[in-house]
Structure 1
Amino acid sequence: MTLEIRIAASTDAEAACTVLRRSIKECCELDHQNDPTILDAWLGNKTPQMVANWFASPTNFSLVAVSEGTVVGVALLTGAGKLALCYLLPEAQGKGAGKALLKRMEEQACDWGVKALQLHSTATGQQFFAQRGYTDAGKVRSPYGVETVLFWKQLDEDATCPNAPKRKRFCNCNTV
């Protein structure tokens, strides 16, 4: 599988919306348990126009993963250091697209000077984020009715940010 990670364009919105909707419906059954009320709430803002708006926002950084000309993944980072989206088509899972998207998002967060990245993971995604150094900070109920796990990862002291300025240690000693 050839994989390209690139900045999302407004022309990617429809394909990215398809990724979001299919991933939620097909991969997150453990989370929504096919409850139509939860699915309707979760998918309610996953429209091509809304995705295009997210991509166009100057406070967001959005990426798509493209394989053989098809958008297979989408990720979105807010300027506040929240990974708001990280979804793949079901058939793209386990092939490196998620890792590549996450790595690039962490690099962008470092470039922005973000010291820690946070996200709300579904039960489906918990293991993925835990295996990549994210710390489980407890359960949080989403606005659409799914229990999520708040994860965070310190970036400035991590190999993820090799060019991040190192913290100076404070020394309260007297030098004579």
Structure 2
Amino acid sequence: MGIEIRQALLSDAPAACALLRRSIAEGCAPDHLGQSDILDNWLGNKTPQTVATWFSTPSNHAVVAERDGQLLGLGLLTQAGKVALCYVLPDTLRAGVGRALLGALEQQARCWSISKLHLHSPASSSAFFERHGYANAGKEKACFGLECDLMWKSLKTDGACDPAARKRFCNCSGE
């Protein structure tokens, strides 16, 4: 498959924004059903400037999936244990990109000693998260007006990572 998962860079923001917008507009069409009020709300904060802000926020960990210089997917984890983004280009669905992104976010969560992750999933994506060990806790209205599934997963945290990656909420040395 030849995909690389790497930390997102500020320079990735325009391409990542375009990827998010396309993934939502096309890949999530079964969820928003072309309803302009929901789609406009969902896309409302998906600008290159906002994406760059997400990438530069110290309490976020953003990763991209890339092949031959093209972004295929984007994932973002907050230090509160929320998988805020996990999107792939519609034409790369079911090719392992989402699995690789989710694996990278879960590894970072373990490094941060986060033992439980949560996210809001559109109905069309819930089965993907369930296949990767997430439990469906029921329906909840997302901030953009779409009814989503509240998903969660417990993680075993073994602390096996770079000590610098363990820093959470402070600039302590971790010792």
TM-score (norm 1): 0.88
**After the TM superposition, which parts of structure 1 deviate over 2 Å for at least 4 consecutive aligned residues?**
161-164
Q: Is 1:55 the counterpart of 2:55 in the alignment?
A: yes
What is the deviation of 1:163? 4.6
Counterpart mapping for 1:1-176 below 5 A? 1-156=1-156, 161-163=157-159
2:72 & 2:20 partners in 1: Cα distance? 10
1:18 & 1:67 partners in 2: Cα distance? 16
1:123 & 1:67 partners in 2: Cα distance? 28
Residue 113 of structure 2 contacts residue 159 of structure 2 at CA under 8 Å; is this kept in 1? Answer: no
Provide the secondary structure at the position in 2 that maps to 1:2.
coil
Provide the secondary structure at the position in 1 that maps to 2:123.
coil
Unaligned runs of 5+ in 1: 165-176
What is the deviation of 1:58? 0.3
2:68 & 2:77 partners in 1: Cα distance? 24
Unaligned runs of 5+ in 2: 161-175
1:69 & 1:132 partners in 2: Cα distance? 27
2:14 & 2:124 partners in 1: Cα distance? 24
1:62 & 1:39 partners in 2: Cα distance? 23
Q: How many matched pairs? A: 160
2:3 & 2:82 partners in 1: Cα distance? 24
- Tell me the amino acid that sits aligned with residue 2 of structure 1: G
2:94 & 2:12 partners in 1: Cα distance? 22
Percent of counterpart pairs with the same letter?
50
1:61 & 1:163 partners in 2: Cα distance? 17
- Tell me the amino acid that sits aligned with residue 120 of structure 2: H
Residue 73 of structure 2 contacts residue 97 of structure 2 at CA under 8 Å; is this kept in 1? Answer: yes
Q: Deviations over 1:114-172 (max 9, x none)?
A: 0101010011111100001100111100111100000000002xxxx4557xxxxxxxx
Considering only aligned residues, what root-mean-square deviation do their CA atoms show, in Å?
A: 1.0
In terms of fraction of residues, the more helix-rich structure is 2
Bigger CA radius of gyration: 1
- Tell me the amino acid that sits aligned with residue 7 of structure 1: Q
